[in-house]
Amino acid sequence: MAQAPTAGSEFDRDTAVTSRAPGVYEADLSPGWSILKALNGGYVLATAGRALGLALPHPDPFTVSAHFLTPSAPGPAVIRTETVRTGRTVSTGQAALTQFAEDGSEVERVRVLATYGDLGALTDEVRTNAKPPAMPPPEECFGSSDGPTDVFGDSTLLGRLDVRMDPATSGWAIGKPTGTGELRGWFGLADGRDPDPLSLLLAVDALPPAAFDLGVSGWTPTVELTVHVRARPASGPLRVAIATRNLAGGFLEEDAEVWDSADRLVAQSRQLARAPRAKDLA
């Protein structure tokens, strides 16, 4: 079973779900996690992920695939889960998160297919080739109050997070993108809540778009997001490095790696997003 929410944490309060019937959960999506007036995809996914952790016999997301259908809005949501297969070490389930239109009908926001396991039961063997991103310490990085504040004018998400961006990948904020398509920064929650497997689903989607470093501005809505959670993160701040390498045909992919304070690569993700319309391109 999933862990009980950490009392008082914004993340746990706003991703909380209550069981309405077997496999059916209710949530109340908070307006506090929006970016440019749309609820952050990782926040919505984490909420659906919490329901799946309660519905399935294994507690932790291992690999989560989400197809985003319509933008989520603050307000009530219903999450209907289905158990696809239960096994000894992993189980697979599906979740459909819907919200209510003005006429009371349900509109599906995201469909999730996920395999859960027990991160505590993984072997200790770690032969990771990848290396953590080199970044200055947090005090030398840019917080949301350090740079231009007009970039994300109507975004409440920034108030929930403590993100410090590496100056080397922040040129875009003053009109000087590097053209490499990479961003990286320190990631924490503003109220100090430690990371856990569920908050990793948020962390992979919580930095500014990597496309900003290509000189592309404007919204890049996520079409699909797959997250692999590879280890229970240690306490303390995370380092998130994102990169896009294939902006083409009106779409782009964005890869994210999340490293914990013990230098473990705790999560990897890739999303497919729509590129802004041509008139938005710098």
Binding-site ranges for a second copy (CB under 8 A)? 62-63, 65, 67, 69-70, 84-85, 90, 92, 94, 96, 108, 111-115, 119, 122-130, 180-181, 214, 223-224, 226, 228, 230-231, 244-251, 253, 264-265, 268, 270, 272, 278
Q: Which residues contact 100 (CB under 8 A, 6 or more apart)?
A: 75, 76, 106, 107
Smaller CB distance to a second copy: residue 193 or 245? 245
18 contacts 79 by C-beta, under 8 angstroms: no
CB of 122 to a second copy, least distance (A): 3
Q: How far is the CB of 160 from a second copy (least distance, A)?
A: 27
Q: Is 34 exposed, middle or buried (0-12, 13-18, 19+ CB in 10 A)?
A: buried
| Distance in Å, CB of 99 to a second copy, minimum | 14
| Shortest Å distance, C-beta 96 to a second copy | 8
- Cβ count near 199 (within 10 Å): 27
Q: Which is nearer to a second copy, 69 or 190 (CB)?
A: 69
Distance, CA of 143 to CA of 5 (rounded, Å):
27
Nearer to a second copy, 129 or 145 (CB): 129
Q: Which is nearer to a second copy, 163 or 252 (CB)?
A: 252
**Choice between 28 and 255, CB closer to a second copy:** 255
Min CB(132)–a second copy separation in Å: 12
**How much is the CA Rg of the chain, to the nearest whole Å?**
18
To a second copy, the closest distance from the beta carbon of 279 in angstroms equals: 12
Please give the C-alpha separations between residue 158 and each of 32, 102, 129, in angstroms, as whole numbers. 9, 29, 32
Burial letters 140-179, b for 16+ CB under 10 A, else e: ebbbbeeeeeeeeeebbbbebbbbbbbbebbebbeeebee
Q: Which CB sits closer to a second copy, 8 or 127?
A: 127
